[in-house]
Amino acid sequence: MYAMRLKKAVPVLAGFATIAGLSSVFARIQGTFGPSANAWLGQASVPTTAVPFISIKLLGLYCSCILGGMVTTWLGGTRRANLWVGAITSLMIGWLWLNTVHPIGFWILLMLGVVPCILLGYQWVRKTS
């Protein structure tokens, strides 16, 4: 019974760790090209020069979610396991949102895209397997 629970938990933990790790890597890479992009995340008004950098940050986070869904599925995770990864990731993003608050549009787009991107990764692996 314990082995069965562990077998179900490993894909969820690996998927979340993939999303968290890749998000950090993408943020580090973006920080080398646009170091001021992270400073704009705490401001209420975002200058138009920041929009491309924030869009790239959003795209990197979406890519992390797609790959996290793929890893979860490759390790034997079901659709339900991917939904758990999405729920845990959404909770983490919600916590970050509460700490940062602005810009609200970035956080709304991120929250709306997390679960669909994870399920997209799930579907891609399912169709190719």
Q: What is the residue extent of each domain of the chain?
A: 2-128
Q: How far apart are CA 83 and CA 25, in angstroms?
A: 23
Which pLDDT tens digit goes with each residue over 15-38? 999 999 999 999 888 888 777 666
d(CA 49, CA 54): 10
Task: Tell me which amino acid residue 73 is.
Answer: T
Burial 52-61 (b: 16+ CB within 10 A, else e): ebbebbbebb
- Could you say which DSSP state residue 112 is in? H
Q: pTM, whole model, 2 decimals?
A: 0.90
The confidence score (pLDDT) of residue 19 equals 97
The candidate with the shortest Cα–Cα distance to 72, out of 26, 20, 31, 111, is 20
pLDDT digits (tens, 9 = 90+) for 87-98: 999 999 999 888
Q: 23-79: per-residue pLDDT in tens?
A: 999 988 888 877 766 677 667 777 777 788 888 889 999 999 999 999 999 999 999
